Structure 1
Amino acid sequence: MWTIAKLTCKEILYKRIFYITVLMSLAFLLFYGIATYFAAQEATAKAGRVINSPDFVIVETFFATQILGIGLYFATFITALLAILSSVGSIASEIESHQIDTLLARPISRRTVICGKFIGLSLLLAGYAACLFLGILLINQLIGGDILRVEITFSQAIKALGIFIVQPLILVAVALLCSSMMTTVNGGIVLIILYGISFIGGFVEQLGVLMEKTAMMNIGIISSLLFPMDSLFRKMTIYLFDTADNPLSFAAQGLFGSLSAPSNIMLAYTALYGIAALLLAIRKFTARDL
């Protein structure tokens, strides 16, 4: 199993997609840092004009969390794309090219192949996700200044980091399931659409809670049950911004706040979702006629 994991890591590192993603991520962090710097300078320059205003605290919180929220949102998107593109063809592409025949000719079970690939992909993507998350957080803390810096405790950062790392692991498990059932292109399309549905449903649910519209809330709940990626993102922002069940706080957070906090039951469901996807991937790959 660990040999398969090691080979999977080497295979991903040899592909250009990983290095291109790393380079573009560095460019993204550079651009984000520059944007944060100039935004902080502008906010500091204008702070003296409104600092005595009763709305200053809400306005300051809004801009601070929006800047950090935008960075984390696109970091989540980049990590998800890398997870999908690097893992959705891990089984399907080898079946199409018949490379899997050489591997399965050895005394290795198909379950070992799936588990090894999951471990290898998860370790690589978890490391990438952690670096990207910490990069966004450090830029906010070091460059954001007194206006745009979000007050975050070490405990909050660790909890949010843990949730952020879990996201690509769930995607890898589902991607392996798709890869064991369909072609690389079809699996990628399915995953990207599910990912989009999840986040659109999440925004609809937050608006539904704010407007007290049951139908909109139900749409968000159904999308979370179908693909719980947005629930993880919302839980991460709650750990960072501490905005759950507070309408005024949610208004200050804007699109990246969360008025409807995912419960611990939802987190347990997400974990079981990933485990079930991995077990089903093993079953489908084992039963597949190559």
Structure 2
Amino acid sequence: MPAVALLTVKEVIRRRILLVTLVLAVVFLALYATGVHYGYRDMAAHAGPLQGLMAAQFLALGLYFGSFIIAFLAVMAAVGAISGDIENGAIFAIVPRPVRRSEIVLGKFLGYGLVLSAFAILFYIAVLVIIRVNTGMSVPIRPGALGLFCLQPLVLLAVTLLGTTFLSTLANGVASFMLYSVGFVGGMLEQIGHLAGSQVLVKIGIFSSLVMPVDAIYRKIVYNLLSASGASYSAYMLGPFGAGSEPSVWMLVYTGLYMLFFLAMAVRVFSRRDI
């Protein structure tokens, strides 16, 4: 399994997926830092006591779109992890050897997971540094929140690995992004429901979190970071990017089981697939 993981990391580098995503991330962070610097400077002059709220909104915005960029990397890196190898015949050089198919799937998960976690850590720290330098808002790194930020792409990675065991590369990419979109759109609707007092929208958001729990993880991160920073205002004031209520520990347990289920199904489906 470690050998498969190492080959997976080398494949990500060879296919330049990581390079493209890094370039996109640098462009985003440059624009984000510029926007935070000038936006906060110009708006803070008229915000008065609401300067802290503005900084929190910029923080939530950076983490939100950062999650999207990392999700893009997770899907694009693993979308053809197995189906692509089958289509180009590379899988036939691996399967006949004394390597279990479960080791292939788990090795690829480990390899992609290491790359995604390293990328997520750098992005997370970059957003917090930009906020602190440009707004003065002291936001601790919080290892728990950092771990949750790294967990987001791993959940989507498990889903994508299952899809690549029985879907074509293109179909898997579409399906993974659509499932990801369901979670984030539902999360937006839930926050709007909290603001508008609509229980229907809140229930839709809860249901979407069960279908794809990545958005619930994001809400947990934002809630914890703002609580740690000593923010005294309500999370409702952040609008759709905030957290009307903190996701429970049971939601995190569900997320862990959700990821393990999809990973186990990927192993099972690939083990039974006739190639």
Q: TM-score range by the shorter chain?
A: over 0.9
* Bigger shift: residues 5-14 or 252-261: 252-261
Which residue of structure 2 aligns with residue 152 of structure 1?
Answer: 139
**Do structure 1's residue 95 and structure 2's residue 61 form an aligned pair?**
no
TM-score (norm 2): 0.94
Which residue of structure 2 aligns with residue 177 of structure 1?
Answer: 162
Which residue of structure 1 aligns with residue 30 of structure 2?
Answer: 30
Query: d(CA) in 2 for partners of 1:247 and 1:34?
Result: 27
**Do structure 1's residue 71 and structure 2's residue 56 form an aligned pair?**
no
TM superposition shift of 1:260 = 2.5
Query: d(CA) in 2 for partners of 1:109 and 1:153?
Result: 43
Which residue of structure 1 aligns with residue 107 of structure 2?
Answer: 116
For the pair shown, which has the larger CA radius of gyration, 1 or 2? 1
Written as runs of structure 1 = structure 2, the 5 A alignment for 1:52-71 is 56=49, 59-71=50-62
Q: Cα gap change, 1:30/1:247 in structure 2, threshold over 3 Å: closer, same or farther?
A: closer
Query: d(CA) in 1 for partners of 2:232 and 2:131?
Result: 25
TM superposition shift of 1:248 = 5.7
- CA distances 1:146-168 after superposition (whole Å, capped 9, x unpaired): xxx2x3235xx322111100011
Query: d(CA) in 2 for partners of 1:237 and 1:273?
Result: 21
RMSD over equivalenced CA pairs, Å: 1.8
Q: Which of 120, 133, 142 is the matching residue for 2:124?
A: 133
Which residue of structure 1 aligns with residue 203 of structure 2?
Answer: 218
Task: Give the 3-state SS of the residue equivalent to 1:104 in structure 2.
Answer: coil
Which residue of structure 1 aligns with residue 259 of structure 2?
Answer: 274
TM superposition shift of 1:221 = 1.1
TM superposition shift of 1:247 = 11
Does the 8 A contact of 2:192 with 2:201 survive in 1?
Answer: yes
Query: d(CA) in 2 for partners of 1:90 and 1:166?
Result: 20
Q: Give the percent of matched residue pairs that are identical in Structure 1 and Structure 2.
A: 35
TM-score (norm 1): 0.89
Q: Cα gap change, 1:268/1:98 in structure 2, threshold over 3 Å: closer, same or farther?
A: same
Q: Which of 228, 242, 247 is the matching residue for 1:262?
A: 247
- CA distances 1:202-224 after superposition (whole Å, capped 9, x unpaired): 11112223333222121111111
Does the 8 A contact of 1:61 with 1:252 survive in 2?
Answer: no
Q: Cα gap change, 1:41/1:248 in structure 2, threshold over 3 Å: closer, same or farther?
A: closer
Task: Give the 3-state SS of the residue equivalent to 2:234 in structure 1.
Answer: helix
Structure 1 unaligned segments of length 5 or more: list them. none
Structure 2 unaligned segments of length 5 or more: list them. none
Query: d(CA) in 2 for partners of 1:159 and 1:101?
Result: 41
Which residue of structure 1 aligns with residue 180 of structure 2?
Answer: 195
Which residue of structure 2 aligns with residue 165 of structure 1?
Answer: 150
Which residue of structure 2 aligns with residue 204 of structure 1?
Answer: 189
Does the 8 A contact of 1:247 with 1:259 survive in 2?
Answer: no
Does the 8 A contact of 1:62 with 1:254 survive in 2?
Answer: no
- CA distances 1:223-245 after superposition (whole Å, capped 9, x unpaired): 111111110110111111129xx
Query: d(CA) in 2 for partners of 1:165 and 1:112?
Result: 23
* Bigger shift: residues 216-225 or 73-82: 216-225
**Do structure 1's residue 233 and structure 2's residue 233 form an aligned pair?**
no
Query: d(CA) in 1 for partners of 2:40 and 2:243?
Result: 24
* Bigger shift: residues 65-74 or 112-121: 65-74
Does the 8 A contact of 1:12 with 1:86 survive in 2?
Answer: yes
How many pairs does the alignment contain?
273
* Bigger shift: residues 60-69 or 70-79: 60-69
Which residue of structure 2 aligns with residue 84 of structure 1?
Answer: 75
Query: d(CA) in 1 for partners of 2:273 and 2:207?
Result: 31
TM superposition shift of 1:171 = 1.1
